Structure 1
Amino acid sequence: MALSNNVIGAINFVAMLLSIPIIGAGIWLANEPDNSCVKLLQWPVIILGVLILVVALAGFVGGFWRIPWLLIFYLVAMLILIILLACLVVFIYMVTIRGSGHLEPSRSYLEYHLDDFSGFLRRRVRSPLKWDRIRNCLSSTDMCGELNQRYRMAQDFFNAHITPLQSGCCKPPTQCGYTFVNPTYWISPINNAADMDCLNWSNEQTQLCYGCDSCKAGLLANLKKEWRRADIILLITLVALICVYLTGCCAFRNAKTEDLFRKYKQGYV
C-alpha cells in the first residue's frame, strides 16, 4: 500500500509540473502588447493553470500522507479541470479558424479585413466603448514609431514583413492609394472615398489608423496568431494531463485493491 501511495504522489507531482506550461502560456499572453490591451484570454488560462496546480498538490499530499478523501477530491476535481481545459482548447481553435491576410500588388505585407474573422472576435472590438479603451492602449505603444526608424525608403517598406497590427493601425489601407512619405505619414490622393478607412486615416501620429476597421482586423490577426501558439501548448499539456490522470486512476484502483486484499488476509488467516 505504501508503495502505491508513493506512486500516486509521484504521479500527482508530475501533474503539478504540467500546470507550469499552462500558467506560462497565460503569462506570455499577458505580456504581449495586443493581449495586454484586450485582456481576454490570459486570465482564464492563468486561473485554470493555478487551479490544476492546487488540485495536483492536493493529490500529491493525499498520496504521500495516505489521505483518502484528498485523493478522491483530486480525482473528481482534476477530471473537471481536464474537461474545462479541453473545452478551452476547442474554443480557441474554433474562434481562430477564420481570418487571414490578403495580398496586395507590389506589397510583401498583408492587408486584413474585419469581416474575415469569427463573430466572437469581432464583437470584442466593435463596441465603441471597448475599442476606445483598446485604441488608447495601442496608441501608447511604440509599434508604429519603430517603423519610422527602420524603413526610410518606400520600396524597403513595401518589401517589409510587418506585423498584422502594424499593417492595420500604422498606415492607410493600400487600396486607398495614398503616397508614401514615411511609414506613418502619407499624402492623400485626390479621391480617397474607396473605403471609410481611407477617410479615417490621419497623419497625426497619435491618430494614424487607430480608428480604422483595418486596425481592428490587424489586432484580431495578431490575437489569432498568438492564441494559436498558446493553443498548441495547451493541447500538448492536455494530452499529457490525460495520460497522467489515467495513470493516477489505475494506481489509485490498485492501491484500493491491495488494501482490500490485505484486510481480507488479516480477517481470514
Structure 2
Amino acid sequence: MALSNNVIGCINFVAMLLSIPVIGAGIWLAMEPDNSCVKILQWPVIILGVLILVVALAGFIGGFWRIPALLIFYLIAMLILIILLACLVVFIYMVTIRGSGHMEPSRTYLEYHLEDYSGWLRRRVQSSFKWDRIRTCLSSTSMCAQLNQSYKMAQDFFNAPLSPLQSGCCKPPTQCGYTFVNPTYWISPINNAADMDCLNWNNDQTQLCYSCDSCKAGLLANLKKEWRRADIILLITLVGLIWVYLIGCCAFRNAKTEEIFRKYKQGYADN
C-alpha cells in the first residue's frame, strides 16, 4: 500500500509539472500586444492551468500522506479538468480553422479580409463598443511607428515581411491605389471607392487604418497564429495529462486492492 501511494504521489507530481506549460501558454498570450488588447483566451488558459496545478497538488499530498479523500477528489476533479482542456483544444482549433492572407501583385506582405475568418472571431471585433477599446489599445503601441524607422524607400517597404497587424492597420489596402510617401503616410488616389477601407484610411498617425476592416482582419490573423501555437502546447499537455491520469487510476485501483487483500489476510489471521 505504501509503495502504491508513493507511486500515486510521484504520478501527481508529474501532473503538477504538466500544469506549467498551460500556465506558461496563458502568460505568453497575455504578453502579446494583440492578445493583451483583446483579452479573450489568456485568462481561461491561465485559470485552467492553475486549477490543474491545485488538483495535482491535492493528489500529490493525498498519495504521499495516504489521504483517500484527497485522492478521490483528485480523480474526479482531474477528469473534469481534462475534459475542459480537451474542449478548449477543440474550440481553439475550430475557431482558427478559417482565414489566411491574400497575395497582391508586387508585394511580399499579405492582405487580410475580415470575411475570411470564423463568425465567432468576427463577433469579437465587429461591434463598435468592443472595437473602440481594442483600437485604442492597438494605436497606443509602436508597431506602426517602427515601420517608419525601418523602411524609407517604397520598394523596400513593398518587399517587407509585415506582420498581419502591420499590414492591416498601418497602411491602406493595396487595392486602394494610394501612393507611398512613407510606411504610414500615403497620398490619396483620385478614386478611392474600391473599398470602404479606402475611405477609412487617415494619414493622422493616431488614426491610420485602425478603423478599417483590414485592421480587424489583421488582428484576427495574428490571433489565429498565436492561438494555434498555444493550442499545440495545450494538446501536448492534454495527451500527457490523460496518460498520467490513466496511470494514476491504475495505481489507485491497485492500492485499494492491496488494502482489501491486506485486511482480508489480517482478518483470516485473527480467526
Shorter-chain TM band: over 0.9
Question: SS of 1:180's equivalent?
Answer: strand
Partner Cα separation in structure 1 for residue 199 and residue 51 of structure 2 = 48
Alignment of 1:1-269 (within 5 A): 1-269=1-269
Q: CA deviation at 1:55?
A: 0.3
Q: CA deviation at 1:68?
A: 0.3
Q: Scaled by the length of structure 1, what TM-score is found?
A: 1.00
Question: SS of 1:231's equivalent?
Answer: helix
Q: CA deviation at 1:189?
A: 0.5
- Structure 2: which 5+ residue stretches go unaligned? none
Give 4+ residue runs of structure 1 displaced > 2 Å after superposition. Answer: none
Show CA shifts across 1:196-232 (max 9, x none).
Answer: 0000000000000000000000000000000000000
Q: CA deviation at 1:83?
A: 0.1
Partner Cα separation in structure 1 for residue 240 and residue 73 of structure 2 = 20
Partner Cα separation in structure 2 for residue 190 and residue 65 of structure 1 = 78
Partner Cα separation in structure 1 for residue 102 and residue 148 of structure 2 = 23
Q: CA deviation at 1:96?
A: 0.1
Show CA shifts across 1:114-147 (max 9, x none).
Answer: 0000000000000101000000000000000010
Show CA shifts across 1:2-56 (max 9, x none).
Answer: 0110000000000000000000000000000000000000000000000000000
Partner Cα separation in structure 2 for residue 115 and residue 189 of structure 1 = 25
Partner Cα separation in structure 2 for residue 191 and residue 68 of structure 1 = 75
Which residue identity lines up with residue 191 of structure 1 in the other structure?
A: N
Alignment RMSD: 0.4
Partner Cα separation in structure 1 for residue 75 and residue 248 of structure 2 = 8
Question: SS of 2:186's equivalent?
Answer: strand
- Structure 1: which 5+ residue stretches go unaligned? none
Which residue identity lines up with residue 157 of structure 1 in the other structure?
A: F
- Number of matched pairs: 269
| Percent of matched pairs sharing the same residue | 88
